Chains A and B, each alone.
Chain A
């Protein structure tokens, strides 16, 4: 800690000794006018990242768009002379029998994950916001699921949910519940990946909502308690309304993140069995990379639909954040 602040302090002291005390004021007016020399310096610093964004964000996105507008075969993909076919890839995707289930699964997956992650995260945040021994340590441990590589979480859940040897079915039969084919039955596979993804998403909600709770002044709770409000009323009348801005941000970011969840579903079920856990993200991958004969065009088309959805909600997020920054 000391090392971070000390050398600059030392430096500024030295500088101040050398320069006249009146010197800083012209410097300040200079920055306010945004002189051209500073603009050059600023964009000099920004140049690498700007070039980077153009090369490694804009160009791949453009290539993806291009892929979705041409009819690609494996040969023309390598040679790069695929004929332009307009929106026919999108037509193919809309007419595909997988489209309706994929749309439904994406919506259900996103909505259910968000609802549970937020509710559990908020409950835990309120709980950990009280002062008790080990509170900080336990809160830190809660971060583990979120920090683990997704392949680790997904393979662990796969084995826990294994039909014959998984611990979940073993516990279920111990209390007299019929074992379930979590990953291999079409009626349970979506539930399984939702459970795993909720587990991964709770820590993010906990951390962000907890930081939101910290900014609610304690005096409000004291006033509410003086007015005779019980814990339940204090939560619904004080905590929840005051947490609304943070909640909005958490849910919108969660929405954008959940829409693009791919790893968990692909590793646990590959979108199956029989497309029963296919979302747009896994469908896109399935089309582009999952088969022996890749369908890059339709795969890119599905991906672009996902981009549009993510960007729409992303724009809402930016708007909400701007509004909050202003108020």
Chain B
């Protein structure tokens, strides 16, 4: 008994050490974000923020709030669009056995393989003609392409697990397919909706390729471009850059704390069937 506890204690120590090494860049981001301007070029750099300052965060509040707002709007828009498109599709593929469903599944898988930079170039050509460059709806649509194929796969996998009796019983009740979907399938799929929403929001919030090609230079630029301009323009104020990075990482932190099990489920479901 005593021996086995000491053995797992040893493993916990190793685990904590490994995690510390892995997360060192994250700690460094925090540390630099709190460093004073005059200490920024110090050699060797301070390992702890001994002269910690919030100046970097003050700069973020002064300069980056519009970018954060834009990213929030685009993220929420992407979530709504993604769920609205993919939940009904998942239901049909999982429960209604459409002819040609296999082909659609295959197309969705293939769509995930297409590099974002290629999509961006095509979108650029189209948006240029439609006048949608530098517009928020344009970026929402482009960002949703990052999430929709994955979302359909998640919904299909999840809704396949809903017992067929429940759906058929509801149909006997006279409910049409739409009502079945709305009042039986969708409420039961709450976990899938959460998983899909989280990933759609995170991917759209993190997107850089579409932002830089489709929204660059416009009035509504997301936070990823806010950071990118910082890096390009003032190479000196790294505390402000890192403070912006910390703020831009907040959704990651929230997701990890509130919805960790959904994340792991999403990663696994995307890669491995069962």
Closest residue of chain B to A196 (Cβ to Cβ) is B25
Chain B residues with Cβ below 8 Å from A211 are 264, 268, 272
In the assembled complex, B218 has its CB within 8 A of some CB on chain A? no
Listed stretches A122-130, A221-229, A234-242; interface member: A122-130
Question: Complex formed: what's the CA distance from A41 to B131 in Å?
Answer: 36
Q: Mark A273-311, 1 if CB is under 8 A from B, else 0.
A: 000000001001100110000001001100110110011
Q: Which single member of A77, A143, A155, A263 contacts B231 (CB below 8 Å)?
A: A155
Question: Given A150-B206, A256-B113, A306-B118 in contact, is the A156-B28 Cβ separation under 8 Å?
Answer: yes
B252 adjacent to A60 (CB under 8 Å): no
B142 / chain A contacts, CB cutoff of 8 Å: 56
A68 to B248, CA, bound (A): 36
Q: Is B242 an interface residue (CB 8 A)?
A: yes
CB nearest to A6 among chain B residues: B187
Distance between Cα atoms of A299 and B166 in the complex (Å): 52
Cβ contact within 8 Å between B172 and A11: no
In-complex Cβ contact of A267 among B91, B113, B228 (8 A): B228
A132 touches B110 (CB 8 A): no
Binary interface encoding of chain A residues 165-199 relative to chain B, with 1 for a CB under 8 A from any of its CBs, else 0: 10100100110000000000000000000000001
Chain A positions within 8 Å of B118 at CB level:
60-61, 64, 284, 300, 303-304, 306-307
Contact A262 B267 (CB under 8 A): no
Q: Are A148 and B252 in contact (CB under 8 A)?
A: yes
Query: Chain B at the A interface: mostly helix, strand, loop or mixed?
Result: helix
* Residues of the A chain whose Cβ atoms lie less than 8 Å from the Cβ of B15: 127-128, 132, 134-135, 138
- Whether a CB of chain B sits under 8 angstroms from the CB of A116 is no
Q: Which residues of the partner chain B approach A324 to less than 8 Å between Cβ atoms?
A: 273
**Residues on the A chain within 8 Å of B9, using CB:** 132-133
Shortest Cβ distance from residue B95 to the other chain A in the assembled complex, whole angstroms: 9
Chain A contact residue count (CB 8 A cutoff): 117
Task: List the B side residues contacting A318 at CB < 8 Å.
Answer: 106, 109-110
Within 8 Å of chain B (Cβ to Cβ): is A272? no
User: What residues of chain A have their CB less than 8 Å away from a CB belonging to chain B?
Assistant: 3-5, 7-8, 11-12, 15-16, 18-19, 23-24, 27-28, 31, 34, 38-39, 41-46, 48-50, 52-53, 56-57, 59-64, 66-67, 77-78, 80, 124, 127-128, 130-135, 138, 140-153, 155-160, 164-165, 167, 170, 173-174, 199, 202, 204, 207-208, 211-212, 246, 249-250, 253, 256, 259-260, 262-263, 267, 281, 284-285, 288-289, 296, 299-300, 303-304, 306-307, 310-311, 313-314, 317-318, 321, 324-325
| Nearest 6 A/B pairs, CB to CB | A60-B122, A260-B115, A149-B206, A42-B98, A42-B96, A45-B92
